[in-house]
Amino acid sequence: MSSKRTRHLALRKSMAGLLSMAMVVTMITPASKTVYASALEDETAQAVAEQEAEAPEAAPAEEAAPEEEVADEITDETVDLYAANSVFTNEDVESIQAFTGYNFYGLRLSRIEIQFKDGTNMTGAANAANYKVWDRAFVDGQYEEAGEKGAIESIDVDGFTVTINFTQGPAGNKAFGMMCTSVWAVAEDADGNYSIKGKGDGDGKDYQYFTRENLDLVVGLGASATMETGIASTDTYGNMLPGTVWQEQDNDIYDDFSITYVDAADEEDATRYEAQDGKVAVHYYVPDTYNEEEGMALVLYVTGNGTSYWEAWDGASHAIGDGQVDSNNLGTNVTYDEAVSNWAETGEVIVASPDVHSDKNKSAAVDVANTIKYFEENYNITKVILSANSNGTGISSQCVRDFTDLVDVFLDYNGWFADGPNGLFSEQSTWSKEDVQRIAEQGVAIWFFNGEKDPLAPPHYSVDAYKNLIPYYEAAGWSDEWIADNLRISGFKDYKFAEWGVNDHSVTKVVTSNYITSPYTDVYEDGGSLAAGSQYYLSEATTNWNTTADEGVRSFAYTVYGESVSEWALSRGDNKAKVEAVTLTEENVPTIDITRGNHLPLTGYLNQEIQVGDTTRTVKLYIADGAPVRTYMTIINVPEGVDTYRFLEQTGWIDLMNERQEGLFVLEPGEEGWGTVEEEQAYIAAAMAAYNTRKWYSNYSTSYAVGYGEGGAALQAYVMSKPTAFISGVFADADDITADFMTKTAATVNDAQTDILKGDIPVPVWEVNGGNAAVVDYWKNASKTDDGKADGSNTVYTQKDEILMTSYTKGVESKVMVGDVDNVYSADFTNAAYDFMSEYTRYENNWANGNALMLRPDYDELGVEFYEMDLDGYKREYMVYVPESIRNQENIPTVYVMAGNTQTDRVFFDATSWWQVADDYGFMIVL
């Protein structure tokens, strides 16, 4: 501190009374909220007047002595005395405005601008001692003075405008002027009475953090000013007082955020939030740079337990009424740190943060998913970047698991992955391997961030998750290079937290304050920047309870990355380009085109609505370009929480269909996921009825079936009930079918034309990763199999008895195969499933006695040739098959075959096995 500043402080009290003006000021006492008028004592006012009367008049300007001579006559102490004390008063103030800005600690007071009336004597205006500022303290809610905390950094004077600047540096986690409070909140009862409640004072959820409407600022002018003589901005509960010189508070980019509402997770949660009509509040910001045609990425931030939820405080019922209302911390998810603001400042993304309702992570994940869906419905979202803090990582993990198709990138700050809280990924119990594999298959990019000595989410949580996720991504077929670029982990040394006075659980503050737009290279204190690709260690990592885990983290080599968080996140997820399906409507029903030939008119990715009672469900179709009329199709279902197109792409189905020029008919779960086997039968039946209308597309009539998980069990049950409609099937983890259902189905007559039971109609089936022996027995009985033989990792049960459906053609035997597969969502499994099924075809009618199960001809292997000709403008196709045994002969016999009215050449060729007859008797077929 300079000597001038020291003297200024020493003289401050002695000069206060002499240089004050009589004034009247309206103010509010924080303790009582009583409004009253305060005036200086008459004696003090008179003393001031006499002091001014005795002061000599200033010499005319033209007669002023040279500056150096004045300096000789006036001592430094005289100058300090004059400058140290202000002569302006509250009555000289025209307006006051407070400005907040984002800082490491969150939304924090940055400056106060005081506009004095023109002509005000600005003596002492540049002296910080002439201003007193009070606000409620961050930690306990009691009023504290900025000057005593050292929070006033400097004073700027520009004419009659004074700007009080407040320090933005470290403050031991007790920064002055925080919009977000800690362990206290303002509570309001139904009568409009306010009170301050601390942590533990509520009858329900503890008050932990709270965002005020405004800072409760009081400004005093003069070195001897007190709160009682100061100018108050609010009623002490964040509500601005009307009719004062205080202007509306400016909150930087926070003022540009909007609020919308999305549906809460479920009725139980919704009824707890009647004040919001069962809706989840969402803060969001759309930059001016958003272009609807080009679209923009969405960054969705999910904050931690203490800084989220809009909770009632009136006990277990959480009811609104009877004098009790909600106390809210709405906005704290946006004001607590820079996790939202610094992303918004980039101008490159839409930013949003839901104030999730439920304190149950799985339900809260639905709140998050509903938020993502809202923005995808209302904006052109090109990718979704999910970021989360503390328990928000647990909520977001659930969202990534249950709604994998919605998320492209996950930024996991100081938390965990999977179950949580406080758990290792490798030891979690509620996630199946299939859950994790689905995330890997979808290519979700993840970056973990943890602090060296985090007491709540220690670094071995993220190290464990990182190490154990890699094998799943490898199994999904991603390259080592891709995995290294899309699975990341960073650790932060303890000094990063100590310098700001926070513990190592504040990773979100460290990352979002420093590294959203800058790479993290300053790993070591005073160590300069490390080059990208360098390795470093958290040598003092600790969990406070697990020495083995500490050692494991201390020896783990972290990598320095060359990109900032935003640069990396915005470049991820391109492998997950979302494809929109074309919805089938009356407007796009194909018209007859006689020049098209034997090709389906609508191909690509399609959506079809299915009416099931009063509910509208959907199916998706993928039809390969070039697929023939009445092409083979495979009925499959997708698991819950996946993007259908992405699932088809990752599992290899789309590539396979393009290669085979065939189609997929894809069953999708409802809004609440897959129902029980019995509940889903109505949906599947309605879907299959639509499938066979042949309005927009046509199919072979009998189909293949592949079922996955819960929805797959329902599909398998449907195949049991409609065995003549399916050629063959593969079912993975899809055998949760009751014995009662199978008993009743097996004993039911298939059709009116025969007395054949459904349980006696063979369908070749491959049961994968099953555990229900009764399902295997059902199909073994239908195919009249032997006791089975090992075939690699599978056991194959082959038909041993004669069955009507396999007696029409030679060489065909039904079978049941049983085995385990590590990754049923891989392209390898898809190809294996198709190879198993496509060994067979089936005649196209559903009467059991004519529903022949046959071997499907392989056109390439047989050497079948296709030709087109033009007949009066109609493009017509015909196919030619010459058995290999007569290809070198001349004058070979030829049989011309005419298919039925609704059949194409290909359908009739496959469904009648004419190729086998041609082989046996040595003639050419033209069909």
pLDDT digits (tens, 9 = 90+) for 485-540: 999 999 999 999 999 999 999 999 999 999 999 999 999 988 789 999 999 999 99
- Upper half-sphere CA count for residue 371 (Cβ side, 13 Å): 34
Residue type, 582: V
pLDDT in tens, 785-841: 999 999 999 999 999 999 989 998 889 999 999 999 988 988 899 999 999 999 999
Backbone angles phi, psi at 445, to 5 degrees: -85, 135
pLDDT confidence tier of residue 136, bands split at 50, 70 and 90 = very high
Based on the domain organization, do 478 and 407 belong to the same domain?
Answer: yes
The domain total for the chain is: 4
Based on the domain organization, do 72 and 125 belong to the same domain?
Answer: yes
Q: Where are the beta strands (DSSP E) in 393-443?
A: 409-413
Considering the domain boundaries, does residue 359 fall inside one?
A: yes
Based on the domain organization, do 170 and 294 belong to the same domain?
Answer: no
**Angle at Cα 532 formed by Cα 528 and Cα 534, nearest 5°?**
75
DSSP 116-177: EPTT---TTTT-GGGEEEEEE-TTT--EEETGGGT-EEEEEEETTEEEEEE--S--TT--SS
Residue 271 in this model has a pLDDT that exceeds 70: no
Query: Which DSSP symbol is given to 178?
Result: B
Based on the domain organization, do 240 and 382 belong to the same domain?
Answer: no
Considering the domain boundaries, does residue 914 fall inside one?
A: yes
CATH code of the domain containing 766: 3.40.50.1820
Based on the domain organization, do 712 and 838 belong to the same domain?
Answer: yes
Considering the domain boundaries, does residue 267 fall inside one?
A: no
Instruction: Name the percent of the chain lying above pLDDT 90.
Output: 61
Spatial neighbors of 83 by CB under 8 A, at least 6 apart, are 8, 123, 124, 126, 127
What SS3 class is residue 686?
A: helix
Spatial neighbors of 724 by CB under 8 A, at least 6 apart, are 702, 750, 751, 761, 842, 845, 846, 847, 848, 851
Q: Which residue has the higher pLDDT, 3 or 331?
A: 331
Residue 72 in this model has a pLDDT that exceeds 80: no
Residue 9 in this model has a pLDDT that exceeds 50: no
Q: Give the range among 266-275, 325-334, 702-711 with minimum mean pLDDT.
A: 266-275
Considering the domain boundaries, does residue 262 fall inside one?
A: no
Q: Give the range among 13-22, 191-200, 669-678 with minimum mean pLDDT.
A: 13-22
Based on the domain organization, do 505 and 593 belong to the same domain?
Answer: no
pLDDT at position 901 is 80
- Upper half-sphere CA count for residue 242 (Cβ side, 13 Å): 0
Residue 324 in this model has a pLDDT that exceeds 70: no
Considering the domain boundaries, does residue 126 fall inside one?
A: yes
Pairing of strands 663-667, 633-637: parallel
Which structure tokens are listed for 752? Answer: 């009116």
- Other Cβ atoms less than 10 A from the Cβ of 488: the count is 22
Q: Where are the beta strands (DSSP E) in 644-786?
A: 663-667, 703-708, 726-732, 765-768
Where does a domain end: 515, 538, 566?
A: 566
DSSP helix, strand, coil percent of the chain (3-state; round to 5): 30, 25, 45
Q: What is the rounded distance in angstroms from the CA atom of residue 913 to the CA atom of residue 100?
A: 81
Based on the domain organization, do 726 and 672 belong to the same domain?
Answer: yes
pLDDT in tens, 569-597: 999 876 554 577 999 999 989 988 888 88
Where does a domain end: 497, 532, 566?
A: 566
pLDDT at position 328 is 53
pLDDT at position 841 is 95
Considering the domain boundaries, does residue 435 fall inside one?
A: yes
Residue 311 in this model has a pLDDT that exceeds 70: no
Residue 292 in this model has a pLDDT that exceeds 50: yes
Spatial neighbors of 416 by CB under 8 A, at least 6 apart, are 393, 394, 397, 422, 423, 424, 425, 457, 461, 462, 465
The answer to whether the predicted template modeling score (pTM) of the entire model surpasses 0.85 is no
Average pLDDT over residues 680-693: 95
Residue type, 214: N
Based on the domain organization, do 905 and 826 belong to the same domain?
Answer: no
Q: What is the rounded distance in angstroms from the CA atom of residue 78 to the CA atom of residue 426?
A: 74
Considering the domain boundaries, does residue 247 fall inside one?
A: yes
Considering the domain boundaries, does residue 207 fall inside one?
A: no
Q: In 3D, which of 633, 607, 611, 639 has the Cα closest to residue 620?
A: 607
pLDDT in tens, 24-61: 333 333 333 333 222 223 333 333 333 333 333 433 43
Based on the domain organization, do 382 and 360 belong to the same domain?
Answer: yes
Based on the domain organization, do 392 and 480 belong to the same domain?
Answer: yes
Based on the domain organization, do 719 and 629 belong to the same domain?
Answer: yes
Which structure tokens are listed for 105? Answer: 């600690």
Spatial neighbors of 219 by CB under 8 A, at least 6 apart, are 96, 112, 114, 131, 132, 133, 230, 231, 233
Which structure tokens are listed for 135? Answer: 């606000």
Which structure tokens are listed for 715? Answer: 């599909």
Helix-helix angle 3-16:76-84, to 10 degrees = 60
Q: What is the rounded distance in angstroms from the CA atom of residue 862 to the CA atom of residue 842?
A: 19
Where does a domain end: 855, 885, 901?
A: 855
Residues 17/85, Cβ–Cβ less than 8 Å: no
DSSP 49-72: HHHHHHSPPPPPGGGPPPHHHHHH
Query: Which DSSP symbol is given to 549?
Result: H
Based on the domain organization, do 127 and 161 belong to the same domain?
Answer: yes
Domain of 816 in residue numbering reads as 582-855
